[in-house]
Chains A and B, each alone.
Chain A
Amino acid sequence: MAHGRFSWIVALGLLLASQSLAAADEKTEVRIGYLAWQPEPGPVLSNVLPEPTDSGLQGAQLGINDSNATGRFLNQNYLFESVQAESPEQLVSDAQALVSKGFKLLVVNTPEDALRQLSTAVGEEALIFNAGSPADSLRETECPANVMHTLPSRAMLADALAQWLKVRRLEDWLLLKGQRPADEAFAAAMRRSAKRFGMEVVEEKTYTFDTDLRRSAQTEMPPFTRSKDYDVVVVADESGDFGEYVPYNTWLPRPVVGTQGLTPVAWHRVVESWGAAQLQNRFTEQTGRWMTSKDYAAWAAVRAIAEAVSQGATPEPEAVQRTILSEEFELGAHRGRPLTFRDWNRQLRQPIPLVHPRALVSQSPQEGFLHQVSELDTLGFDAPESQCKPLPQ
């Protein structure tokens, strides 16, 4: 595919015709901020491909560019400010600084603890779009009113994978997990999904060695994966300490799924249907790299705000949130069906691609998993499964 011949700047330069707008009113100015803080990843033992340092930020920037490209015809102008913080405390003070400058619609990429602190600190003054934390507790038991989630929860990812395992009849699982809290969180989500869809974890093992697996995987992994019979190996290793070395090294020849192998993601470069290829192209032209899940979550957050404003919401936290949660709201986000937010826990409903590094294998919800309202609600915490309730009108 040839691209880049007509960059934005060149296209504007070639423009022979200019457009006139029907209404010559003042422009609607929409101020969106992006904030990120991530802890140091720490040493990892395998040759993990690192997450780009601007993952999330570039997605938000593309969302702003797309919204301005559209907003031109609608008398809207999107202003953007981004901050990379060095600590959770600085994240909060940076956010407060943005809010005082009128940037009250905030797209945030940070783990759950920092997100909680931020949510408490800004209160009703800002609307936060969580594009960085997959923590299930935020969707199940804690229901911060000023937070909307665009990144899928771990429960959604685990359910997406589990549905595929069910369809493929891979019902007995060997579950391997790392020692970090995030690993246990993903393992817990997979355990929940096993129970939910009637499958079994035949054994669970924690990887506790710290050998350099690049040399020794073939001797270390097979004994580590000896167990009763199992259909599939499920790996919960979010930082990639050992998970990449499980495929092809299991005691029984079995597929490997989870955080490595076949992975459930929010987005991946192999997703191309429903115009996704065009979104991917715009992103790659902007950044020179592929769009990550966090990029997509940040992009979707900005687009949700833009859609709300286009539907008439004033660009303020309360009006934007109310419009997004209204019955008529839907977001075209290259997923093959309009996306909406759950009104109990304010999570963006979305299908979940299941990928390996070079191809899309499947997409959940799998055919056959039914639901009265939306099949997308078979993923994650459905209304009766969450303690969160819709916001009072």
Chain B
Amino acid sequence: MRFTIAPVALCLAGLLAMPALADKAYVSNEKDNTVSVIDAESLEVINTFDVGLRPRGLLTNSDETLLYVCASDSDTVQVFDLSSGERVKELPSGDDPELFALHPNDRWLYIANEDDALVTVIDVETSEVLAQIEVGLEPEGMATSHNGKWAAATSETANMVHWIDTETNTLVSNTVVDQRPRYIVFNEDDTLLWASAEIGGTVSILDTETQEVIEKIEFDVPGQRSDQVQPVGIALTKDGKTAFVALGPSNHVAVVNAQTYEVEDYLLVGRRVWHLAFNADESQLFTTNGVSGDVSVINVADREVVKTVKVGRYPWGVVVTD
């Protein structure tokens, strides 16, 4: 299959400075076309490097040696070697890749092509397009189960979660959720899929086996208008006990008891909080606050915001490495 790659605006890819082995948070700055690197101990920005145009989704492979960046307006996924700091590869991604998920086999990359209503599956080693699966309009959310069996996507305009069987890479079913579903993530044992609905203002929990919505969480942030409560990113603790949900322009992160589905607290962070990620031992949670251009660092045990770190313009995605 012929697959053309858009000419990429080749900014000088700065090298990643590598101090010794602290956790690092990588943050994509959507409007600056850069990635900021925050040292998780000092909570300072230690490096900023150029990437392609409109960087959004970010992830690492299992052993955290490679960083993948969706450069949406460059229509490509860029791959950086985290020890040398070099950009080692660019993968064909289809048009306008926004979010993606790496299969646990570290080879199959599932990419949501926002403008084309497609999910593109790429083999990251051979750069081959393995499949393109039609989904609803404006796919964004993308997740793979830990056991590798499922890939799931959301389409923001069709208001659906699409379930993809990874053995055949075919779409096997669709679940309607609330308006504008943006982010999905499987829990640790893959029994549940959590899905946020930005305009619907809710988070739905879907049963992986039946693919049906079994629970729905609504949010009520004190002092904020209900139409400002727009859930986007979700972070689940591995022990299955707690979920953190970024609530967009209401500027808060909800702390949810993942067993009772009750909201236990709301934490004030920066403006327009979208995505969030734990460090390795889940002691810290980093949130990207798009409008204020900063990252909030939350002490998870105390459920307190301990610091705000200024990054580039419109921070979007975040991933934390060991």
Instruction: Give chain A's interface residues, CB within 8 Å of chain B.
Output: 1-3, 5-6, 11-12, 14-22, 66, 69-70, 73-74, 274-275, 278, 281-282, 310, 330-332, 336-338, 374-375
Q: Which A residues are in CB contact (< 8 Å) with B114? A: 278
Contact (Cβ within 8 A) A19 B170: yes
Q: Which chain B residues lie closer than 8 Å to A16 at the CB level?
A: 131-133, 169
Which chain B residues numbered 46 to 104 have a C-beta less than 8 Å away from chain A?
A: 73, 75, 94-96
Pairwise interchain contact A332-B137, C-beta atoms closer than 8 A = no
Q: Which residues of A contact B155 (CB under 8 A)?
A: 70
* CB-defined contacts of A274 to chain B, threshold 8 Å: 180, 199
Quick check: B115 and A22 within 8 Å, CB to CB? no
* A310 and chain B: residue at smallest CB distance: B176
The count of A-to-B residue pairs whose CB atoms sit within 8 angstroms is 115
Provide the bound-state CA to CA distance between A66 and B199, in Å. 18
Q: What 0/1 pattern do residues 166 to 193 of B give for CB contact below 8 A with A?
A: 0011111110100110000000000000
Q: Does B12 contact A (CB under 8 A)?
A: no
Q: How far is the CA of A288 from the CA of B114 in the complex (A)?
A: 20
Contact B179 A11, beta carbon cutoff 8 Å? no
A3 touches B115 (CB 8 A): yes
B30 contacts chain A at the CB level, 8 A cutoff = no
> Which of B132, B199, B225 touches A11 (beta carbons < 8 Å)?
B132
Is B25 close to A, CB under 8 A? no
Q: Is the CB of A275 within 8 A of B1?
A: no
Chain B residue numbers with a CB within 8 Å of A2 are 6, 73, 75, 95
Question: What is the bound-complex CA distance between A27 and B94, given in angstroms?
Answer: 31
Chain A contacts of B174 at CB under 8 A? 19, 21-22, 73
Q: Are B138 and A278 in contact (CB under 8 A)?
A: yes
Complex CA gap A66/B73 in Å reads 22
Interchain Cβ contacts under 8 Å between A and B, 15 examples: A3-B95, A3-B96, A11-B134, A12-B134, A15-B133, A19-B134, A22-B174, A69-B136, A73-B158, A73-B160, A275-B157, A332-B156, A336-B249, A338-B179, A375-B225
Q: Is the beta-carbon distance between A17 and B131 smaller than 8 angstroms?
A: yes
Residues A6 and B116 in contact, CB atoms below 8 Å apart:
yes
Given the complex of chains A and B, what is the CA–CA distance between A374 and B118 in angstroms?
36
Name which residue of chain B comes closest to A333, CB basis: B199
Which residue of A5, A22, A375 contacts B4 across the interface (Cβ within 8 Å)? Answer: A5
Chain A residues, CB < 8 A from B95: 2-3, 5-6
CB pair A15 B134 closer than 8 Å = yes
Report B-chain residues with C-beta under 8 Å of the C-beta of A1: 73, 96
Task: Note all chain B residues with C-beta closer than 8 A to A69.
Answer: 117, 136-137, 158
